[in-house]
């Protein structure tokens, strides 16, 4: 089975982990700051669909995935499959790690597996990694900038570890 992990650079953020989590899950405001995923439509419940509007270089892609993990304020994950799950599946994880008073680290990965993995990595690997890094830097700027972040919309409460 072909497998490949694309990961962002780890970015240290001079803001409390709770503040960064608020920015990360405020999907309604992604268009204000996120150059990679410019729009997210979901109700944020584990098992629910998540429609992502992603910028891959010159391409604008809309893809549907499923929420897999919501573990505030540490981890958010979603996954997708192309065709049958044996052809290609991918799981994106975004992680926050507290580093001490008012600081944390952000890292995101996308784990691909299946026979189409080498083709996807060849065609889009650099663009995905570049997008991950652009998002990480933008998340840092947003969280450190002090702009007030509202709670997630649509009455969604993201509490406690929930896994699928």
* CATH of the structural domain 3-146, one choice from 3.40.50.12780, 3.30.530.20, 3.30.1060.10, 3.40.50.300: 3.30.530.20
3-state DSSP of 93-147: EEEEEEEECCEEEEEEEEEEECCCHHHHHHHHHHHHHHHHHHHHHHHHHHHHCCC
CB atoms under 10 Å from CB of 104, counted, come to 25
**pLDDT band at residue 149 using 50, 70 and 90 as cut-offs:** very low
Q: What is the predicted pLDDT for the residue at 1?
A: 79
Q: What is the pLDDT of residues 10-23, one digit of tens each?
A: 999 999 999 999 99
Residue 133 CB neighbours (<10 A): 16
Cα–Cα distance measured from residue 123 to residue 145, given in angstroms and rounded to the nearest whole number: 35
Q: Report the pLDDT value the prediction gives residue 151, as an integer from 0 to 100.
A: 39
Q: Would the pLDDT of 7 be above 50?
A: yes
Question: Domain map of the chain by residue range?
Answer: 3-146
Q: What are phi and psi of 23, to 5 degrees?
A: -65, -45
Q: How confident is the model at residue 148 (pLDDT cuts 50, 70, 90)?
A: very low
Mean pLDDT to the nearest integer, 27-49:
97
Q: Which of the four pLDDT bands, split at 50, 70 and 90, describes residue 59?
A: very high
Instruction: Tell whether pTM > 0.85.
Output: yes
ω into residue 116 within 30 of 0, thus cis? no
């Amino acid at each position: 089975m072909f497998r490949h992990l694309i990961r962002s650079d780890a970015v240290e953020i001079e803001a409390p982990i709770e503040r960064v989590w608020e920015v990360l899950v405020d999907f309604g405001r992604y268009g204000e700051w996120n150059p990679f995923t410019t729009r997210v439509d979901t109700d944020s419940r584990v098992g629910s669909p998540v429609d992502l509007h992603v910028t891959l270089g010159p391409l604008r892609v809309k893809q549907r995935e499923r929420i897999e993990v919501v573990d505030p304020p540490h981890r958010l994950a979603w996954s997708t499959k192309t065709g049958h799950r044996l052809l290609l599946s991918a799981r994106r994880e975004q992680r926050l790690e507290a580093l001490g008073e008012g600081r944390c680290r952000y890292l995101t990965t996308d784990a691909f597996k299946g026979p189409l993995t080498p083709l996807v990595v060849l065609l889009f690997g650099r663009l995905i990694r570049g997008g991950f890094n652009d998002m990480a830097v933008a998340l840092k700027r947003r969280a450190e900038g002090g702009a007030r972040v509202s709670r997630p919309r649509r009455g969604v409460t993201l509490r406690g570890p929930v896994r699928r």
